[in-house]
A and B are shown apart, each in its own frame.
Chain A
Amino acid sequence: MNPCPYFFLLGKGHGGSFRLLSPSVFWSSDLQLRKRGPGGGPHLLCRHSVPGLPLPPSPGLSPAYQGAGRGQGAGRGQGALRAAVTRRRRKNMAGVAGPATGSGAAGGDGDDSLYPIAVLIDELRNEDVQLRLNSIKKLSTIALALGVERTRTELLPFLTDTIYDEDEVLLALAEQLGNFTGLVGGPDFAHCLLPPLESLATVEETVVRDKAVESLRQISQEHTPVALEAHFVPLVKRLASGDWFTSRTSACGLFSVCYPRASIAVKGEIRQYFRSLCSDDTPMVRRAAASKLGEFAKVLELDSVKSEIVPLFTNLASDEQDSVRLLAVEACVSIAQLLSQDDIEALVMPTLRQAAEDKSWRVRYMVADKFSELQKAVGPKITLNDLIPAFQNLLKDCEAEVRAAAAHKVKELCENLPMEGRETMIMNQILPYIKELVSDTNQHVKSALASVIMGLSTILGKENTIEHLLPLFLAQLKDECPEVRLNIISNLDCVNEVIGIRQLSQSLLPAIVELAEDAKWRVRLAIIEYMPLLAGQLGVEFFDEKLNSLCMAWLVDHVYAIREAATNNLMKLVQKFGTEWAQNTIVPKVLVMANDPNYLHRMTTLFCINALSEACGQEITTKQMLPIVLKMAGDQVANVRFNVAKSLQKIGPILDTDALQEEVKPVLQKLGQDEDMDVKYFAQEAISVLALA
């Protein structure tokens, strides 16, 4: 269920590293935008994550297994269980230490099987959540030890009864149970797993509930058709008519898995239940139903889709809450896929048109965001008649979010238009709107456009690109916002194929230089990552002339991440341009830095050697790099010295035995006696890894 689309979740995230970013770098780079799930974001896990605290003592543990299995008949299993617990308690009282306890467990086969459940129960009752969590996570171990029968008769009833715990423990339990079929005796007994999962599916915490539903869906597949109707369908019905909204929400996710295998009569009932949830009083349930509508439609007979799903869809799409309406847009894709052109026109399009002009920008955003899927689902004819005009409106929507989402889809939309007449259509119906967006007031919109606009060149061909697109690229390369420029540069390869990069190089260079010196280190980092690509496209001469000095300057950047990226960049360049080039242009410059007064720069030399040695091969490494590394073993800064040891370890395998024995070994041995602890440690590690001892 995803009731809230990720409107503009570009920048600041839930604390943590996201906050460091200038918001829009993320927008522009090809990193995924974070989806904002229903309360399922990272914060949820943070909320529950428990630091590894030392175990708090629990003096006077309440007697184990008191009251567990309440409400169960005292069957054979129960008796055994109690016996096991009593035995354990007795042992504890007698103060039998570890080994003795162990011997009990390791006794005969019958004896081991008594042990685990007692352990589990003790651990489940532990006051420390972390310990309870640990034992739940090892539930399969316990079940395996118990054997299938006792797992069914003792462990599962116990678990069903204990569902009161912290959400984190419940989450682990819900997850475990999804894979438990084998442990309770295979598909014939899969229904034994339903009671605990049913309880978990009614819990408040969304993460737990979703996991329980996921496990239930998994288990439903393992049911035989008979068992499905006897056990699974009744469970779905119970959930669907639960009092509290949580159980009804969970039910929404279960209809589609049991429908295909149910008998006709039961199918009718299932549809009936789904219908009523679609008009539930609680918006949470309607949202859940709306988000499962498409999935459910897919498993229905075509007649039922038309007669039942379409009206539900229409209703949800005009719900009073926009959070429900926007979910109907998603369902629209699945429903349209099932219908013929005429039916789409008659049954789906009125609603879709309305959604594209909804008064809530969230709904319009959703239409923009799902545009490619919608386009494919409704087919080319309706696209031309209806979607293109709608798209034009979205591109000039009054909310920047909507424009940005639409701008993101420009390339895909154009790509998916029918070949015939595509060029004219793009030139006449899309390009004018794109031109407007290039000078949009909102940088996210421009940035979104910049991330896809280059892709149009392959679709429009050389002449159109030069005449119409090139001016736009150039304008964006001069944009005030670095993300826009970066996005253009990062997609240069598309243009290169069509018109060659030379057309752009005069404008490119200033843009690259400016980004390379941007005050935000993340921008610098991003441009470094495109260097190998640019180098490949611009060719070695252009590179040496214009860009080489930039690449070297990054090596002494004041931000470590930049120096590190610059180092990797060098390695990729060497892979591209070859060792001779490396020997002439890069290696000398890198080695000079070994004498730099700043120890950080001296270390950069070492890091570069680590990265380059492999690409450069044995000769260069032995003749040019090794002497420098060995010389640096006498550096006065310990950090440099232990990095020497690490570097030697790294380049050792490339060297021949003579060099290793005669040059590397004595140096490492000397470092092995260093007064600094870390230097000693890394030297010894290198000695043992290189087998020089």
Chain B
Amino acid sequence: MSPGGLQLPPVSLGGSPRSTDVPSSEQPELFLKKLQQCCVIFDFMDTLSDLKMKEYKRSTLNELVDYITISRGCLTEQTYPEVVRMVSCNIFRTLPPSDSNEFDPEEDEPTLEASWPHLQLVYEFFIRFLESQEFQPSIAKKYIDQKFVLQLLELFDSEDPRERDYLKTVLHRIYGKFLGLRAFIRKQINNIFLRFVYETEHFNGVAELLEILGSIINGFALPLKAEHKQFLVKVLIPLHTVRSLSLFHAQLAYCIVQFLEKDPSLTEPVIRGLMKFWPKTCSQKEVMFLGELEEILDVIEPSQFVKIQEPLFKQIAKCVSSPHFQVAERALYYWNNEYIMSLIEENSNVILPIMFSSLYRISKEHWNPAIVALVYNVLKAFMEMNSTMFDELTATYKSDRQREKKKEKEREELWKKLEDLELKRGLRRDGIIPT
């Protein structure tokens, strides 16, 4: 068999005659025939059935991959619908329920796709098709339409990471070549994410979709459209709330930073969003948030920094005094970052008073000696930065604490009075106490 040439089946799927190498003039027709043959789907759950036919389909798919890679002039107009039909038949299916009841990607082994020997080749073939030099989006768009893309996106929920990896490439190529589908793809990804965040918390392909989005965001034109800003604030930021954040956090943080590098004025809403969704009970997520925040601070503009420094450092003060040493440690590492240090130094008159009481308390109280040592260094840095203010804060530390305690007590009393009032009014209303 010549490389890239098509051979007809020994025992055909669809009943083509047996033959060896075929003259090139007949190859286009044979190509179509083979595409049609490959629309036959086999049951891979039954490992014993149709072994011969499965092997034959596999070799046919291999031939198709070779053919489309090497041959010239093979993509005639009538091949497009057949290619898309063959691909659709094979890849579009309702994904099976997960074996391990509630699939936890962090703990469970994924269920691998049983039909992968065929599926892989179909994906391989489709990617070669999309990447072929002869490929013409203008013809393909009749067949690769919104419905096609929608079904493709649903497949991202596949548990099999190999499949998701291929899907990523496929979707990326489609996004690149079909300008008319771009807005639609973005909108559908939005819907998937929103459903993931607010309805199911389950979708296997979030990381892959975010990876694609990372490159899409990179190409956004400036000034950013309202649609894109909305995507950032209403979709990407809420993605931080999901339980399985660790599975896609790297990709998510990358997208966020991409946005901020494009348009620094988005820094404030982003950081306020992170503050709003700051994890309250999950230390592991808190560490991720701190990591992301540092990535953001690495690219922040000093003018933006000034806008959010107060809420930001109130949160950092809380993290620094976290009893979980990894959280405290991660926050204290900010002081090893030269750029952040320079920002803190410029604004020490605002930041120092926010941080001081936490640092001072932790330096005496934290159970972990490593944290105490780090805090000591941070305090030292502050002392060198702004010694007058530092001395002042040290001097008033005790009285400040006392004042706070008093305030707290005051508030308790207020509420007590208020409740008495309610009780009294209730009694009056019921006519127990005369008005």
A residues bordering B, Cβ < 8 Å? 3-4, 7-14, 23, 36, 38-39, 41, 43, 46-51, 55-59, 97-99, 101-102, 105-106, 112, 115-116, 119, 123, 127, 131, 138, 141-142, 144-145, 166, 204-206, 244-245, 282-284, 287, 320, 322-323, 359-362, 399-401
Offer 26 A-B interface pairs, CB within 8 angstroms, sorted by A. Answer: A4-B199, A9-B102, A12-B100, A12-B101, A12-B102, A39-B200, A43-B243, A47-B241, A59-B400, A59-B404, A98-B413, A102-B414, A105-B421, A115-B414, A116-B421, A138-B415, A142-B418, A144-B422, A144-B426, A166-B276, A244-B234, A283-B191, A284-B195, A323-B195, A361-B97, A362-B94
Interface core residue of B314, B318, B406, B411 (most chain A CB under 10 Å): B411
Q: Which residues of B lie under 8 Å from residue A145 when comparing CB positions?
A: 418, 421-422, 425
The answer to whether B102 touches A13, judged by C-beta atoms less than 8 angstroms apart, is: yes
Q: State whether B194 touches A8 (Cβ < 8 A).
A: no
Q: Who on chain A is nearest to B429 by CB?
A: A144
Question: A47 contacts B279, CB within 8 Å?
Answer: yes
From the candidates A7, A43, A102, name the one contacting B417 in the complex (CB within 8 A): A102
Known: A39-B200, A166-B276. A284 touches B191 (CB 8 A): yes
Q: Does B19 contact A (CB under 8 A)?
A: no
Is A361 a contact of B406 with CB atoms below 8 Å? Answer: no
Contacts of B410 in A (CB 8 A): 97-98, 101
CB of A409 to closest CB in B, whole Å:
18
Q: What is the CA–CA distance of A493 and B97 in the complex, to the nearest angstrom?
A: 35
Q: How far is the CB of B72 from chain A (nearest CB, A)?
A: 38
Within 8 A of A (CB), among B92-129: 94, 96-98, 100-102, 104
Decide: A320 and B150 in contact? CB cutoff 8 A.
yes
CA distance A55 to B422 in the complex (A): 25
> Does chain A have a CB within 8 A of B55?
no
Known: A8-B101, A51-B281. A105 touches B400 (CB 8 A): no
B interface residue count range (under 10 / 10 to 19 / 20 to 34 / 35 or more):
35 or more
**Bound-complex Cα distance A48 to B156 (A):** 29
A141 touches B201 (CB 8 A): no
Q: B424: nearest residue on chain A (CB-CB)?
A: A112
Q: Report Cα–Cα, A399/B97, bound state, in Å.
A: 8
| Residues in B neighbouring A400, C-beta threshold 8 A | 97
* B52 CB-CB contact with A under 8 Å: no
**Other contacts beyond A59-B400, A145-B421: 20, CB < 8 A:** A3-B200, A9-B102, A12-B102, A39-B197, A39-B201, A51-B280, A56-B318, A57-B357, A102-B414, A105-B418, A106-B417, A116-B418, A141-B421, A142-B418, A144-B422, A145-B422, A284-B194, A287-B199, A360-B94, A362-B94
| Residue in B97, B191, B201, B234 whose beta carbon sits within 8 Å of that of A43 in the complex | B201
The CA of A12 and the CA of B241, in the complex, are separated in Å by 21
Chain B residues near A10 (CB-CB < 8 A): 101
What residues of B have a CB within 8 angstroms of the CB of A362 in the complex?
94
Q: Report the minimum CB–CB distance from B40 to chain A (whole Å).
A: 18
Q: Give the docked Cα–Cα distance between A34 and B273 (Å).
A: 31
What residues of chain B lie closer than 8 Å to A131, measured between beta carbons? 411
Query: B291: CB under 8 A from chain A?
Result: no
User: Does the CB pair A14–B421 fall under 8 Å?
Assistant: no
Name the B residues within 8 Å of A138 (CB-CB).
415, 418
Q: State how many angstroms separate the Cβ of A569 from the closest Cβ of chain B.
A: 30
Question: What per-residue 1/0 map shows which CB atoms of B73-105 lie under 8 Å from chain A?
Answer: 000000000000000000000101110111010
A49 and B280 contacting across the interface, CB-CB below 8 Å = yes
Q: How far is the CB of A242 from chain B (nearest CB, A)?
A: 13
CA distance A39 to B194 in the complex (A): 10
Q: A144-B422, A282-B191 are in contact. Are A361 and B94 (CB under 8 A)?
A: yes
Asked whether, in the complex, the Cβ of B147 is within 8 Å of the Cβ of A320, the reply is: yes
* Residues of B with C-beta under 8 A to A102: 413-414, 417
A residues in contact with B238, CB < 8 Å:
204
| Cβ-defined contact, A206 with B199, below 8 A | yes
Q: Chain B residues near A101: list those with CB within 8 A.
A: 410, 413-414
Using known A-B contacts A38-B198, A206-B199, determine if residue A57 contacts B401 with beta carbons closer than 8 Å.
Answer: yes
Question: Could you give, for residues 390-414 of chain B, a 1 whenever the CB lies within 8 Å of some chain A CB and a 0 otherwise?
Answer: 0000000000110110111111011
Asked if A12 and B400 make an inter-chain contact with CB atoms under 8 angstroms apart, the answer reads: no
Interface string of B194-224 (1 = CB under 8 A from A): 1101111100000000000000000000000
A11 to B191, CA, bound (A): 28
Residues on B with C-beta less than 8 A from A323 are 195
Using A55-B408, A105-B414 as known contacts, say yes or no to A14 and B243 having CB atoms under 8 A apart: yes
Shortest CB-to-CB span from B276 to chain A, Å, is 6
Nearest-neighbour CB distance to chain B for A9, whole angstroms, equals 6
A287–B191 CA distance with the chains assembled, in angstroms: 12
B346 interfacial contact with A, CB 8 Å: no
For residue B50, CB closer than 8 A to chain A, the reply is no
Structural contact, B191 and A46, CB atoms closer than 8 A = no
Contact check, A8 vs B97: say whether CB atoms are below 8 A apart: yes
Return A267 CB to nearest CB of chain B, in Å: 31
Q: How far is the CA of A142 from the CA of B415 in the complex (A)?
A: 10
A398 smallest CB distance to B (angstroms)? 9
Q: Is the CB of B406 within 8 A of A97?
A: yes
Q: Name A167's closest neighbour in chain B (CB-CB).
A: B276
Q: How far is the CB of A120 from chain B (nearest CB, A)?
A: 9
Whether A39 lies near B418 (C-beta < 8 A) is: no
- Which residue of chain A has its CB nearest to the CB of B191? A283
The reply to whether the CB of B263 lies closer than 8 angstroms to some CB of chain A is: no
Q: In the docked arrangement, what's the CA distance between A138 and B418, Å?
A: 10
Among A4, A59, A97, the most chain B Cβ lie within 10 Å of the Cβ of A59
Shortest Cβ distance from residue A455 to the other chain B in the assembled complex, whole angstroms? 25
In the complex, are the beta carbons of B102 and A141 less than 8 A apart?
no
| Contact A119–B414 (Cβ < 8 Å) | yes
Q: How far is the CA of A7 from the CA of B414 in the complex (A)?
A: 50
Q: Which residue of A lies closest to B276 (CB)?
A: A166
Q: How far is the CA of A13 from the CA of B107 in the complex (A)?
A: 13
Give the nearest-CB partner of B98 in chain A: A8
Cβ-defined contact, A123 with B411, below 8 A: yes
Asked if B404 and A12 make an inter-chain contact with CB atoms under 8 angstroms apart, the answer reads no
Is B419 an interface position by the 8 A CB rule?
Answer: yes
Query: How near does chain A come to B425, taking the closest CB pair, in angstroms?
Result: 6
Determine how close the nearest CB of chain B comes to the CB of A516; give it in whole angstroms: 27
Q: Which A-chain residue is minimally distant from B357 (CB atoms)? A: A57
Cα(A51)–Cα(B283), bound, Å: 13
Closest beta carbon of chain B to A78's beta carbon, Å = 22
A50 with B280, Cβ < 8 A, contacts A9-B101, A55-B408, A144-B422 known? yes
The reply to whether B417 and A105 form a contact with Cβ atoms under 8 Å apart is yes
- Smallest beta-carbon distance A481→chain B, Å: 15
Q: Is the CB of B191 within 8 A of A359?
A: no
Complexed CA–CA distance, A320 and B234 (Å): 25
Contacts of A115 in B (CB 8 A): 414, 417-418
Assembly CA distance A3 to B418 (angstroms): 43
| Residue of A with least CB distance to B420 | A106
Q: A38-B199, A57-B400, A112-B421 are in contact. Are A49 and B281 (CB under 8 A)?
A: yes
Residues of chain A with a CB closer than 8 A to B421's CB:
105, 112, 116, 141, 145
Distance in angstroms from A568 CB to nearest chain B CB is: 30
Which residues of A have CB within 8 Å of B194? 245, 284
A127 to chain B, nearest CB (A): 7
Least CB distance, A99 to chain B, in whole angstroms: 8
Query: B227-258, CB under 8 A of A: which get 1 and which 0?
Result: 00000001000100101000000000000000
Chain B neighbourhood of A7, CB < 8 A: 97
Residues in B with CB closer than 8 Å to A9 are: 101-102
Residue of A nearest to B396 (CB): A59
Q: Given A4-B200, A48-B280, A116-B418, answer yes or no on A283-B195 (Cβ-Cβ < 8 Å).
A: yes
Q: Which of A23, A105, A245 contacts B101 (CB 8 A)?
A: A23
Q: Which of B201, B276, B421, B426 has the most CB of A within 10 A?
A: B421
With both chains docked as a complex, state the minimum distance between the C-beta of B153 and any C-beta of chain A, in angstroms. Answer: 11
* C-alpha gap A127/B420 in the complex (Å): 26
Q: Give Cα distance in the complex from A362 to B194, angstroms.
A: 20
Question: Which chain A residues border B241 with CB–CB below 8 Å?
Answer: 47
Contacts of A8 in B (CB 8 A): 97-98, 101-102
Of all A-B residue pairs in the complex, the 4 with the closest CB atoms, nearest first, are A57-B404, A38-B199, A11-B101, A98-B413
Chain B residues with CB under 8 A of A361: 94, 96-97
